[in-house]
Amino acid sequence: MIETRAATPDERDELLRLIRGHLGADFESLQGPTGLSWPEFEALYRTRGEVRAIHKDGSVVGYYWIERRGKELHLHAIYVFPPHRGKGVAAAAIRALEREFETQVDAIELGVEETNEKARSLYERLGFQVEGRLVDLGFLLLRKRLGDRAGN
């Protein structure tokens, strides 16, 4: 069973470092299409949405960053620490988001790198469908409508 809570300032900083580490040199290639420098991305991260820590058995096992956009919830990032991957943590966190927001938003959307087949497979198993492609970024846009409970 997982639980989530608002991330502390140190935890928010840790997720930002993890995002930067994951993107690495790729962030430079994303600058053109997004138009954002790293300081601009960092400012966006610090001012939009909310970061939550994912807990399992009393320990932090990951984080996610979400933002409400009208009647949609955008999942900017989800990060599960490597020792906890493949154990249902991400799926449980996403299902918890669905339960929490099912009466507040019509859909959850997220972007996934086209090359990240494992993540895409997880999202599709949870009922997300590809709704677009961000060619310049190498991302697919996936969305799950929350009124359609068939994916659960």
Q: Are 43 and 87 in contact (CB under 8 A)?
A: no
Model pLDDT, residue 44: 87
Q: Which pLDDT band holds residue 28 (cuts at 50, 70, 90)?
A: low
Residue 143 token pair: 């969305």
What CATH code is carried by the domain that includes residue 11?
3.40.630.30
Q: Which pLDDT band holds residue 42 (cuts at 50, 70, 90)?
A: confident
Q: Give the pTM.
A: 0.87
pLDDT at 31 over 60: no
User: For residue 30, what are the CA distances in angstroms to 27, 65, 109, 113, 138?
Assistant: 5, 19, 20, 12, 9
Dump pLDDT digits (tens) for 55-96. Answer: 999 999 999 999 999 999 999 999 999 999 999 999 999 999
Task: Please tell me the total count of domains within the chain.
Answer: 1
Model pLDDT, residue 27: 60
The closest alpha carbon to 95, from 146, 60, 142, belongs to: 146
Domain region containing 108: 2-151
Whole-number Å distance between alpha carbons of 28 and 64: 23
Residue 7 token pair: 């991330």
Dump pLDDT digits (tens) for 121-136. Answer: 999 999 999 999 988 7
Q: Percentage of residues in the chain with pLDDT exceeding 90?
A: 71
Q: Are 140 and 112 in contact (CB under 8 A)?
A: yes
Model pLDDT, residue 102: 94
Q: Residue 142: which residues within 8 A CB-CB, separation 6 or more?
A: 109, 110, 111, 112, 120, 123, 124, 128, 129, 130, 131
